Amino acid sequence: MIVRREEDTRLAVEGGTPVREKLLPYGRQTIDEDDVAAVVEVLRSDWLTTGPKVGEFEEAFAQRVGAPHAVAFSSGTAALHGAIFAADVGPGDEVVTSPLTFCSTANTVLFQGGTPVFADISQDTMCLEPRLAERALTRHSRALLPVDYAGHAADLGAFRELADRRGLILIEDACHSLGASFEDGPVGSIADLTVFSFHPVKHITTGEGGMVTTGDPELARRMRMFRSHGIDSDPRQRQRTGRWHYEMTELGLNYRLPDLMCALGLSQLRKLGANIARRREIAAAYGERLADIPELRLPGVRPGVDPAWHLYAVRVDGIERETVFRALRAEGIGVNVHYVPVHLHPYYRRRFGYAGGEFPVAEAAYGSLISLPMFHGMTDDDVDDVVQAVRKVVKRYTGRAA
């Protein structure tokens, strides 16, 4: 923490001394020497890609989340695309999902020729609301695609029941929620297909990377084929059997996650428990130390859910969000906004005719959201700086102690 003169209480954006000189990002990776050694070991091996570490990582990951099968991909977006492919989504099919998500959730439906259909979110968790999702279903609906916003599991019980009753595939976008649980079941073991991301700001990282878990061996087979150009065997299998012949049976892509990255993932996976525990400590500290500020609406947590806290997204009330955003950035706090609702992006406006106002809860949330820094490498001093900066900014714009 920076030592400041007591009399300088001006905001940094107004010429005062910032809480921090160096920006604290909203998220970042943590890499240690074990991680480096794991990657170096693969660099010195015979396989840099499509080798033994892929299967090792998949097996360890499946065991960690309680799923029979796990299939690795080159990114979270690629993993989403693989899940949509495995679910046999195609032209004329609709997939109901949340507008408050990163655009890849819906984009991957479009890649397969399907149509993403949005429904509004719940006020408390900002996850897809099951009642509204059901209203959005039509005879063309193929799948439900709830998003675990910020690391809080969607209402998986309600979505599981709805999917089973209507004969739909349940695909969970769990890119925010590795390590979370829902009613004592780990995320990754409940939906037909559960998608994870290993981007550097997530709970573990492979640089870029993703994974899909499933209990269905046929879905797993389809995803493995899809990630390798739609070819029915991989180079390692062919080398083992001494065969050269291969056949492309479906239209796929090169979405393979190399051994290098899988080695990093294996090393990182061993730290997942500690990483999640630290994120929960930070969330608890924020919840305790910011709860008395009426201008902030803190994240809600439903009974039976233990979030993984990818983000700590607060909603600002009574102060313009952009004003708070700029002021906190000037104080050295790297706040961010998650997300611009997908239907408000220019591409979706042009293609589907969205004008705004279609999903009022999601749009209102977007207008007030600010993500505070949340990553397991944060120190207690980092947390102190965030709290101090938030209170300093609120005090300035409300004219009272915060």
Both structure tokens of 402:
């915060």
Using alpha carbons only, how large is the chain's radius of gyration in Å? 22
Among 202, 271, 392, 395, the active-site one is 202
CA-based nearest residue to 73, from 213, 209, 265: 209
Q: What is the DSSP string of 347-381?
A: HHHHHH---S-SSHHHHHHHHHEEEEP--TT--HH
Beta-carbon contacts of 310 under 8 Å, excluding residues fewer than 6 positions away, are 27, 150, 151, 175, 176, 177, 201, 202, 203, 279, 374
CA-based nearest residue to 263, from 119, 47, 5: 47
Q: Strands (DSSP E) along 114-228, which ranges?
A: 115-118, 141-145, 169-173, 181-182, 185-186, 193-197, 210-214
The question of whether 202 is a catalytic residue gets the answer yes
Cα 295 from Cα 300, distance rounded (Å) = 15
Terminal Cα-to-Cα distance of the chain (whole angstroms)? 20
CA-based nearest residue to 87, from 41, 7, 141: 141
Cα 242 from Cα 235, distance rounded (Å) = 10
Pairing of the two strands 369-372 and 312-316: antiparallel
Peptide bond between residue 149 and the one before it cis (omega within 30 degrees of 0): no
Give the residue numbers annotated as catalytic, written as ranges.
202
